[in-house]
Amino acid sequence: MIFNVIVIGSGHAGIEAVCVSSKICNKVKLITSNIESIGILSCNPSIGGIGKSHIVQELEILGGIISESSDYSRIHSKILNFKKGESVHSLRYQIDRILYKNYILKLLFIKKNIVIEQNDIKSIVRFKKKILLIDIFNCINISKNIILCVGTFINSKICIGKNIFKFGRYNEKTFNLSISLKKIKLFISRLKTGTPPRIDINYINYNKISIQYSDYTKYFGKIFNYNNNIKCFITKTNINIHKFIKKKFKNTSIYIGNISSLGPRYCPSIEDKIYKFPTTKNHQIFLEPEGYYSRELYLNGLSTSLSLENQKKLIKKIIGLNYNYIIRFAYNIEYDYFDPRCLNQTLNIKFASNIFLSGQINGTTGYEEAAAQGFVAGVNASRKSINLPLWKPKKWNSYIGVMINDLTCLGTQEPYRIFTARTKFKLFLRIDNSIFRLINLAFLIGSTTKIKFKYYSNIIYNTYINLFNILNNNLKKNFFVYKNIIIMSKYYGYIKKYLFKF
């Protein structure tokens, strides 16, 4: 059987790619090394943030599933930058890992035109206009287009102290695709990232740490007081902790040269914070629950590569955690990535147009950036398989376009992260107008369902009518009303034409 699209990898990029491909064409296949890892949150149990929540909202309008899954599984939510202008207002959800994973599995397994296979691919061969994928059993899968969403699993190694393990995630094996991809003459380099330890929620002194409550506010059309009642906590490092880390820094993989690549600038390890900001007396550590029934707390801000024994001693020195225990240890991971400048803005390789790359393989970091790339690759791979024109995201109408333009034109030397500061159109690229910016596009590229398109079209239609009524009620001097009327009127003719077509 010849598939239209085969997606390799089941992280956020792979999930979005296979879901949107199944909406546009048939014969779609997802290959993963472990079905149990589909939809797993590899690092922090949260979705959103500054710039990231803009991408999540855009994916919701376009037909992605990351927003739907995070709405279903959220346990805590915050509105960031609420005191600033609307263009930088952002959402951040804490997620129940189990609910999130199960919801994504449900969405995948109810789609009849998706074939899911647990397997490992050892080599990729281009043959005429087809791609041959050879697995570890020497069986061949044939596809018109493939999407590689292998994340940090290509030639990766995990470092804990001086110890090195060849894993893509802890206790999960890596992919051996580097040789096949080098034959396509892709430029390969290395990046690193890390994850902090998880501790036991039952051994915390709550009298010595501050509580961070969820925001119970109706905002962006989302009601937060449902499924949203878990508290987060904040503690801080101190001078004693900084002195301890400085003494033990010589025993880390970075110091002895096991890791030499760059990590994410905006999510540094605790060693980097102490080294780069020596005058800072304390750094915040956020204690984030991993679910309703989980005993684990994620220590956001304490990413480290210290040895296991030193990590245990470090936890005991933190205020409020003096009698706590580590459930999962922290580690750093170094992996291969490919220079994204070898890609078109449709995310296929310039000199191998039926191979698409998305996710951390392109040098990004974060669930949201990976999901957006997977969505773009999925749309274009499926449209290419049925001979439709490809979609190039534009940087003036979406943060997805900003990210794709940055990657394919400028490349990246460190793990790329989206921010509102990366665009000069941020006054226009707000969360609250994403429906008006992108619903037309979702209809044209075929990534949304008829029901969802009609639902969002009704929102635009009713908003236009309400604003028109306000305009007639002696508010003609209100500049902001005129501004919104101008924005809405651009879409009114389109909505009136297509709203009742289905």
| pLDDT, tens digit, 9 for 90 and up, residues 417-448 | 999 999 998 888 988 888 888 988 998 898 98
Q: Of the given ranges (83-87, 141-145, 360-364, 460-464), which has the lowest mean pLDDT?
A: 460-464
The full DSSP string for 413-437 is SS-B---GGG-S-TTTS-STTHHHH
| Strand pairing class (348-349; 130-135) | unpaired
CA-CA-CA-CA torsion sign (377, 378, 382, 387): negative
Closest to 485 (Cα-Cα) out of 472, 498, 500, 502: 472
Q: Write down the residue that tokens 């030397």 correspond to.
A: 413
Residue 119 in this model has a pLDDT that exceeds 50 = yes
Task: State mean pLDDT over 93-97.
Answer: 93
The string over 279-302, giving b where at least 16 C-beta atoms fall within 10 Å of a residue's C-beta and e elsewhere, is eeeebebbbbbbbeebebbbbbbb
Mean pLDDT confidence for 393-407: 94
What does the pLDDT look like over 320-379, one tens digit per residue? 999 999 999 999 898 989 999 999 999 999 988 899 999 999 999 989 999 999 999 999
Asked if 389 and 221 count as a contact pair (C-beta separation under 8 A), the reply is: no
Among residues 400, 382, 401, the alpha carbon closest in space to that of 390 is found at 382
Per-residue model confidence (pLDDT) at position 492: 46
Q: Using N-to-C axis directions, what is the helix angle for 66-73 and 367-385, rounded to 10°?
A: 140
Q: How far apart are CA 32 and CA 38, in angstroms?
A: 8
- CA dist 431 and 61 (Å) reads 11
**CA nearest to 391, candidates 375, 369, 408:** 375
Is domain 198-333 classified as CATH 3.40.50.720? no
Burial profile 422-450: b = 16 or more Cβ within 10 angstroms, e = fewer:
bbeebeebbbebbbbbbbbbbbebbbbee
Q: How far apart are CA 59 and CA 10, in angstroms?
A: 18
Which pair of tokens denotes residue 185? 């003459």
Q: Does residue 145 have a pLDDT over 50? A: yes
Closest by CA position to 375, among listed 93, 52, 60: 60
Among residues 290, 268, 248, the alpha carbon closest in space to that of 194 is found at: 268
For residues 484 and 318, give the distance between their C-alpha atoms in angstroms, rounded to a whole number: 50
pLDDT tens track for 209-231: 999 988 865 555 554 445 567 88
pLDDT above 70 covers a percentage of the chain that reads: 89
109 has a pLDDT exceeding 80: yes
Q: Give the pLDDT score at 491.
A: 47
Residue carrying the six token digits 């290509």: 154
Neighbouring CB atoms inside 10 A of 328's CB total 14
pLDDT confidence of residue 177: 78
Q: Where are the domains of the chain?
A: 198-333, 449-498
Q: How far apart are CA 74 and CA 92, in angstroms?
A: 10
> Global pTM?
0.91
Tabulate helix, strand, coil % of the chain (nearest 5): 40, 25, 40
Report CA-CA distances (Å) from 196 to 159, 297, 303: 13, 10, 4
